[in-house]
């Protein structure tokens, strides 16, 4: 009987611990370990980024679905063809709702991500108008 109580207590403790861990912000300290797409050579240009999005469209759709934003995939793809990426610097402490990455060849999503590197991160930014409309309404 004592063993059952001990096992119950340990399992309950692990569940509570794991739930509190999942609610925390993921602090991203470096880029490149779990990349979504491997890019050879120089820093990618806007044209390279657009080609990569077209090439990996199926994986991106799957990632949008995993993130719970599957309905934004089509507006994202449609707008991507006519818009340009903006080069920006992501300051330390800035947060992202979610981001896609690969681990062991599988597409995964990290929710509530904070850039916590040593310096600002140079990124390409692309605002999807459909998302902005939904956030404002």
Domain-located, residue 129: yes
CB atoms within 10 A of CB 113: 18
Burial code (b: 16+ CB inside 10 Å, e: under 16) for 1-31 equals: eeeeeeeeeeeeeeeeeeeeeeeeeeebeee
Domain-located, residue 83: yes
Domain-located, residue 65: yes
3-state helix, strand, coil in the chain (%, to 5): 45, 25, 30
Domain-located, residue 85: yes
Domain-located, residue 16: no
pLDDT band at residue 111 under the 50/70/90 scheme: confident
Domain-located, residue 19: no
8 A C-beta contact, residue 110 and residue 66: no
What's the CA gap between 122 and 107, in Å, rounded?
23
What's the CA gap between 36 and 75, in Å, rounded?
21
- Cα dihedral: 122, 105, 103, 79 (round 10): 40
Lowest-confidence segment of 23-32, 91-100, 128-137 by average pLDDT:
128-137
What is the total count of domains within the chain? 1
Positive or negative, the CA dihedral 48, 50, 51, 57 is positive
For the entire predicted model, the pTM comes to 0.69
Residue 60 burial (C-beta neighbours within 10 Å; 0-12, 13-18, 19+): buried
Domain-located, residue 86: yes
Give tens-digit pLDDT for 92-109: 988 888 888 888 889 888
Domain-located, residue 113: yes
What is the average per-residue pLDDT within 15-41? 65
Domain housing 34: 26-136
pLDDT band at residue 65 under the 50/70/90 scheme: very high
């Amino acid at each position: 009987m004592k063993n059952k109580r001990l096992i119950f207590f340990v399992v309950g403790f692990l569940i509570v611990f794991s739930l509190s861990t999942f609610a925390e912000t993921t602090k991203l300290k470096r880029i490149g370990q779990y990349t979504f797409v491997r890019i050879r050579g120089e820093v990618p240009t806007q044209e390279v980024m657009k080609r990569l999005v077209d090439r990996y469209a199926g994986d991106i759709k799957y990632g949008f679905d995993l993130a719970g934003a599957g309905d934004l995939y089509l507006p994202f793809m449609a707008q991507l063809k006519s818009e340009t990426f903006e080069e920006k610097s992501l300051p330390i402490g800035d947060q992202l709702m979610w981001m896609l990455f690969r681990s062991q060849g599988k597409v995964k999503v990290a929710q509530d991500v904070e850039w916590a590197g040593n310096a600002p991160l140079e990124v390409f930014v692309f605002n999807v108008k459909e998302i902005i409309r939904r956030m404002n309404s």
